[in-house]
Amino acid sequence: MDGAAPAAAQHPHPYVPRDLNLPGYVPVLLSQSTIVGVYLGSSLLVASLIWLLSGGSPRRSTVDRLLMCWWAFTGLTHMILEGYFAFSPEFYKNPSGFYLAEVWKEYSKGDSRYAARDSAVVSVEGLTAVFEGPACILAVYAIATNKSYSYLLQFAISLGQLYGTAVYFVTAVLEGDNFATSQLHYYAYYVLANSFWVLIPTIISVRCWKKICAAVKFQAQNQKKAKSR
Amino acid sequence: MDGAAPAAAQHPHPYVPRDLNLPGYVPVLLSQSTIVGVYLGSSLLVASLIWLLSGGSPRRSTVDRLLMCWWAFTGLTHMILEGYFAFSPEFYKNPSGFYLAEVWKEYSKGDSRYAARDSAVVSVEGLTAVFEGPACILAVYAIATNKSYSYLLQFAISLGQLYGTAVYFVTAVLEGDNFATSQLHYYAYYVLANSFWVLIPTIISVRCWKKICAAVKFQAQNQKKAKSR
């Protein structure tokens, strides 16, 4: 099973379309529950840590503390998971059981364009990892220290996440939407997992939009008052 | 030369890569100077019109008037030119000399992924046409009527334009960056024409960022003062 199989040979991988050629593919070694469990577990750990650490200031609202948890979680996901994918074109050949390679071998069952190195997927993941990941961590800091750019930064990252997800889904449809190993993988990985990055950025964008518009209105009204005095 | 040439036959189009198969391709009928001239001429007309119409209010700054010209120009470009492309997969077969089809036949000399219907290009152009185009026209209105969401909307569209251009360039590099008929087409269409949608959105984003942060800071300071009285 080692590499360089001719194009017409069988393809010893679980992905769809079946004629996808992945010479040197090494099957996923960890179980699905281990892969998903480690991700959810470490995410919960990060969120709990941020929740506890952010509880020090009595002036900080529950919403702000939840947002800090979200930004830490999504920022680390962008930088570590998506960053690894963007810069590891041969992850599917990894024989060591390395967790990050296993994640993408498993996720490719929901969307084989990851293993196939689809250029739209790689560019969206690359931009997300390089620009949005660090920006998310900056957002945690901005909320913690009450920066004047806090809402605007959260708005900008959320829009970026929405744009990236839109390109991700639209290109899938344009390319035939036939990249999932099974219905279960399609709905669990491709639809459900990504839906959080549609839903939550939408809510945050709307909230930031309102907060910022209120501030601009406040400034306009009070500067008018000051002038008319 | 009519359609359905077998894959190994010669390809009667001017695009690179030469093996790109475009059955039914009809050569560009208008001259390059006509195509570029009509675009620049009508853009100048739109900008002049907006400039004149926006001169009514003495309170409106020159910067705001220039921004209204930009948003009208780029909004119409997104909706008409890019909108036509996104929803006309067979533009390269158009035999009528229809201007919008000619534009994209000509532009494909700088980036053949347009004729080849690259999914990343189509999805970015589709999102730009459907969401950003109308939003640009809303930005003209928002500046004209001094809406509190004016800066934020301009910021959002500019980020969208930057994200779209980033996906556009990154996917080109990932796919081999070999889509131009000549060096001239590469630099004039692919590099130069797109560079305006990097440069101008960057300047506008930075300006809006500063304006919005100033408003948020103003609100925070004045609400603090009001409380401490």
CA B27 – CA B13 distance, rounded (Å): 7
pLDDT above 70 as % of chain B: 95
The DSSP output letter for B92 is G
Q: Would you call the peptide bond into B17 cis, given omega within 30 degrees of 0 as the criterion? A: yes
Q: Rounded distance, CA B10 to CA B18, Å? A: 9
Average pLDDT on B49-68 reads 93
- Residue of B152, B159, B215 with shortest CB distance to A219: B215
Record: contact B219-A220, CB cut-off 8 A: no
Q: What is the pLDDT of residue B58?
A: 79
Instruction: Give B-chain residues touching A163 at CB under 8 angstroms.
Output: 127, 159-160, 163-164
Q: What is the pLDDT of residue B127?
A: 98
Whether A174 and B123 lie within 8 Å, measured CB to CB: yes
pLDDT score, position A229? 67
Q: Identity (one letter) of the amino acid at A92?
A: Y
Segments making up each domain of chain A, as ranges: 32-220
Answer yes or no: do B148 and A122 touch at CB < 8 A: no
User: Minimal Cα–Cα distance from A31 to chain B, Å?
Assistant: 32
Query: Taking the complete model, does pTM exceed 0.90, yes or no?
Result: yes
How many contacts (CB atoms, under 8 Å) link A and B?
113
pLDDT in tens, B93-103: 999 999 999 99
> For tokens 């702000």, what's the residue?
A64
pLDDT at A3: 43
In a mutational test of the B interface, the residue from A212, A221, A224 whose CB has the highest number of chain B CBs within 10 Å is A212
Identify the CA nearest to A120 among candidates A85, A181, A170, A157.
Answer: A170
Contacts of A215 in chain B (CB under 8 A): 212, 215-216, 218-219
Interface probe with B: pick from A163, A170, A206, A209, most Cβ of B within 10 Å: A163
User: d(Cα A170, Cα A120) in Å, to the nearest integer?
Assistant: 10
**pLDDT score recorded for residue B57:** 78
Helix ranges (H only) for A128-193 are 133-144, 150-174, 183-185
Question: Which one of B111, B117, B119 would you mutate to disrupt binding with A, by most A Cβ within 10 Å of its Cβ?
Answer: B119
3-class secondary-structure state, position B76: helix
Please determine, for the modelled complex, whether the ipTM score is greater than 0.90. yes
Q: Which of B146, B152, B167 is closest, CB to CB, to A213? A: B152
Give the residue on B whose Cα is nearest the Cα of A117: B174
Terminal alpha carbon distance of chain A:
83
How far is A142 from chain B, CA to nearest CA, in Å? 12
Asked if the Cβ–Cβ distance from A218 to B220 is below 8 Å, we say no
3-class SS of residue B175 = coil
CA distance B46 to chain A (A): 29
Q: Is the pLDDT of residue A5 over 70?
A: no
Nearest chain B Cα distance for residue A46, angstroms: 29
Average pLDDT, chain A: 94
